[in-house]
Amino acid sequence: MDFRKLKKYKITILLVVMNSAIWLAMEILGNTFDPDYMYSHGAMSAYGTLVDHEIWRFFTSMFLHFGPQHLEQHASSGSCWELP
């Protein structure tokens, strides 16, 4: 693999690494399959955003994944957008 080509995908690589690190930290600290745990750490909820006006959930929910399969699916599909 020619690692020089990866320079073109800095943002994608950064997002995959950030998402992976956040998921790993969340998994170590608790259970990422538990909806209450995820909600308490910023997961998206219609009630939370519309009724409680917790607009920050739009941002934090982008970095939370319910389990390793969810993380892998989003990492692989997101990286496909920039691949040649």
The count of C-alpha atoms lying within 13 angstroms of the C-alpha of 9, restricted to the half-sphere facing its C-beta, is 17
Give the pLDDT of the chain (84 residues) as one tens digit per residue.
566 766 777 887 888 888 889 888 988 998 888 889 888 887 888 878 888 888 888 887 777 888 888 778 777 775 555 555
Distance linking the first and last C-alpha atoms of the chain: 14
Question: Would you list the domain boundaries of the chain?
Answer: 3-75
pTM of the model: 0.70
C-alpha to C-alpha distances, 27 to 21, 22, 36, 50, 59, nearest whole angstrom: 10, 8, 14, 28, 19
pLDDT of residue 81: 57
8-state DSSP, 31: -
C-alpha to C-alpha distances, 26 to 10, 36, 69, 81, nearest whole angstrom: 24, 13, 15, 26
